[in-house]
Structure 1
Amino acid sequence: MRFLFYTHSAVSDWNHGNAHFQRGIMRELVARGHEVIALEPADGWSRSNLLAEQGPFAVERFRKDFPELMAVTYDAGFQHESWLADADIVIVHEWTDPELVARIGRIRGRGGDFTLLFHDTHHRAVSATQAIAVLQLEHYDGVLVFGEVLRESYLRAGWGRRVFTWHEAADERLFKPLPEIDRESDLVWIGNWGDDERSAEIGEFLIEPAHALALSGTVHGVRYPPDALTALADTGLRYEGWIANADVPKAFARHRITMHI
């Protein structure tokens, strides 16, 4: 079968954790013999920031780390209809521009010969309902959401025909124990600052205990404000910025404790 994934970005995981799960799903489908193509906006926020920070090297890293994945960029003049005409399954991520979400739905409604699914991996259906309510999903065959609470919210609101819980998971081909790598430090935290939505938790569960216990370790992530960087430096933890997802298992293996907040 031919799968078409509309992603915010498959190439970039800069402040874009959904890329990890989507890459894993696409790799699994390729391994099972399916054709898989990821479509992403050429000027997408995550991709643009990654290129600005890391340069073309980051795109080359993606191609090297995930050679089985095919990512195609689109712009305003992109012929979506011709790509959709050859697809069997189309999965549209919720970071996709609302006008394009509606356009793809209309193509399906006019008799597009493919199964069309909307994929929600965030909490806006609960925390910012208007952002989801304006999406035109009436022609979508189903909605995939990453938690049962979201599924119930979609059903209550009447968004979409059918709604299924599809939990995110780790790519087992990438994330696995690496006992051959020696432990070098105490603690690693890999995560982004996130618009203050978990600032208090980072302080309570990472910065304060690391300082109190005098732990050595590393922090990876992006968008940390100056005061957060100062607080990290005061604990003795090293801040090393963005890390490619393919390097994360090795980073985990080099530390005795991994934090997830």
Structure 2
Amino acid sequence: MKIKVFCHSLLSDWNHGNAHFLRGLATEWKLRGDSLDVYEPRDSWSLTNLISDRGVGAVREFRRAYPSLNSISYDLKSLDLEMALADADLVLVHEWNDHELVRRIGEHHRRHHHRYRYRLFFHDTHHRSVTDPAAMAAYDLSNYDGVLAFGEVIRQVYEEKGWAKRALTWHEAADPRVFHPKPSNRKDGDLVWIGNWGDEERTEELHEFLLRPVKELGLRATVFGVRYPDHALRALAEAGISYGGSLANHAAPDIFSHYKVTVHVPRRPYTRLLPGIPTIRVFETLACGIPLVSAPWQDSERLFTPGEDFAVARDGDEMKSKLSRILDDPQYAANLADHGRRTVLARHTCAHRVRELDMIVDEINREERTTVTYR
């Protein structure tokens, strides 16, 4: 199968979660022998910030970690879609793309549908459908075969607003070839958190579920991530938490191996507006086999078994209690980590998602053949 992906960036995961999932999907497609072309805009926001933050060596680091993956950089004005899409069987266009590009690819699909017959999907892995609906409504998806939404609640938004002819739920997942336990006898501390401070979408939550519990328990803790303003760095220092700076996502398993526990602190849009969506870091963290304590989020789609795959803390006091139990009871910690990892391997790997997408495409093809037969 010939697959074309148009994304914000494959090369950079700087504040860009879709790169995590895309790299795992791309690896899976390559391993099973599919032809894959990934297109990303030249000098994308994420790539520009990555190079500014960590230098061009960060791109070389990506190539060493993923030697089989590469992307094609393009300028929108000169992008030749006739050449790019001529032999496609499946095309995925991520939501962090220019509105014009999304429209032009849809127009190509409409004009050449009977000639090339590729399947075209819009891939939504963000909360803008509920936090910035005007921007999402401006995407012309009329010529797309459907939307792949990374949570049921987002699928329902597309359906209710009529933004696309078809919307389907397609969750993110972990690549267990990269995200797996890396046993180490060396411990650099008690707790580690890998996440970005970002746009103040979870400032209160980070104070309640991370900073205060660490400070009050006197834990040795480190935080990695980007977009930490001065007040955030001061807050970390006041809590006695070390700041490790920017971290390549593929380096997370090594970091996890040197700590005893981690936490998940969902952003406010996900807990209040998008229940059921854990974000990809939960899949990756559990795949690494480190005990996880999560701040509250509603697993309405039953992706996991809260309390068995990970511990759940309803407030800051409960977070302190859960962290203390994990740190004081190695058997409980090991059981929790093992259960979470087994759940990911059984249900939530990129191989699972590739097979699910195959089934989605097959179902649409059957629907179309049936419609033509009875026309």
Q: Same fold (TM over 0.5)?
A: yes
What's the counterpart of residue 172 of structure 1?
Answer: 176
Q: How big is the shift at 1:181?
A: 5.1
What's the counterpart of residue 151 of structure 1?
Answer: 155
Distance 1:181 1:70, change over 3 A: farther
Q: How does 1:195-214 map to 2 (within 5 A)?
A: 195-214=199-218
1:64 lines up with 2:64 in the alignment: yes
Rg (Cα) greater in structure: 2
- Residues 133-168 of structure 1: CA distance to partner in whole angstroms, max 9, x if unpaired? 111001001110011011111111111121110011
Q: How big is the shift at 1:26?
A: 1.0
Distance 1:240 1:71, change over 3 A: same
Q: How does 1:56-95 map to 2 (within 5 A)?
A: 56-75=56-75, 76-95=77-96
Residues in 2 aligned to 1:66 and 1:80: alpha-carbon distance in whole angstroms: 27
1:44 lines up with 2:48 in the alignment: no
Q: How big is the shift at 1:237?
A: 1.4
What's the counterpart of residue 194 of structure 1?
Answer: 198
Compare the two structures and name the one with the higher strand fraction: 1
Residues in 1 aligned to 2:63 and 2:37: alpha-carbon distance in whole angstroms: 14
Residues in 2 aligned to 1:60 and 1:80: alpha-carbon distance in whole angstroms: 28
Which stretch shows the higher mean deviation, 177-186 or 225-234? 177-186
- What are structure 2's unaligned runs of at least 5 residues? 266-375
Amino acid at match of 2:163: W
% identity of equivalent residues: 50
What's the counterpart of residue 6 of structure 2?
Answer: 6
Look up the SS of the partner of 1:37 in the other structure.
strand
Assess if the C-alpha contact under 8 Å between 1:2 and 1:34 holds in 2. Answer: yes
Which of 232, 239, 249 is the matching residue for 2:253?
A: 249
What's the counterpart of residue 140 of structure 1?
Answer: 144
Look up the SS of the partner of 1:258 in the other structure.
strand
The alignment covers a number of residue pairs equal to 261
Residues in 1 aligned to 2:67 and 2:89: alpha-carbon distance in whole angstroms: 23
Q: How big is the shift at 1:218?
A: 1.1
Q: How big is the shift at 1:130?
A: 1.0
What's the counterpart of residue 368 of structure 2?
Answer: none
What's the counterpart of residue 125 of structure 2?
Answer: 121
1:182 lines up with 2:217 in the alignment: no
- Residues 174-209 of structure 1: CA distance to partner in whole angstroms, max 9, x if unpaired? 111112453321111110112011111111111111
Q: How does 1:7-22 map to 2 (within 5 A)?
A: 7-22=7-22
Assess if the C-alpha contact under 8 Å between 2:91 and 2:121 holds in 1. Answer: yes
What's the counterpart of residue 24 of structure 1?
Answer: 24
What's the counterpart of residue 234 of structure 1?
Answer: 238
Q: How big is the shift at 1:58?
A: 1.0
- Residues 52-79 of structure 1: CA distance to partner in whole angstroms, max 9, x if unpaired? 1111101101111011112111113222
- Residues 89-123 of structure 1: CA distance to partner in whole angstroms, max 9, x if unpaired? 11000001011100110010101422111000011
Amino acid at match of 2:72: V
Amino acid at match of 2:178: L
1:130 lines up with 2:134 in the alignment: yes
Residues in 1 aligned to 2:61 and 2:174: alpha-carbon distance in whole angstroms: 20
- What are structure 1's unaligned runs of at least 5 residues? none
Residues in 1 aligned to 2:88 and 2:58: alpha-carbon distance in whole angstroms: 29
Q: How big is the shift at 1:124?
A: 1.4
Compare the two structures and name the one with the higher helix fraction: 2
Root-mean-square deviation (Å): 1.1
Look up the SS of the partner of 2:121 in the other structure.
strand
Residues in 2 aligned to 1:123 and 1:235: alpha-carbon distance in whole angstroms: 30
Q: How big is the shift at 1:250?
A: 0.8
What's the counterpart of residue 111 of structure 1?
Answer: 112
Amino acid at match of 2:119: T
Q: How big is the shift at 1:84?
A: 1.0
Look up the SS of the partner of 2:260 in the other structure.
strand
Look up the SS of the partner of 1:12 in the other structure.
coil
Assess if the C-alpha contact under 8 Å between 1:187 and 1:218 holds in 2. Answer: yes
Residues in 2 aligned to 1:258 and 1:36: alpha-carbon distance in whole angstroms: 35
State TM-score, norm by structure 1.
0.97
Residues in 2 aligned to 1:227 and 1:211: alpha-carbon distance in whole angstroms: 17
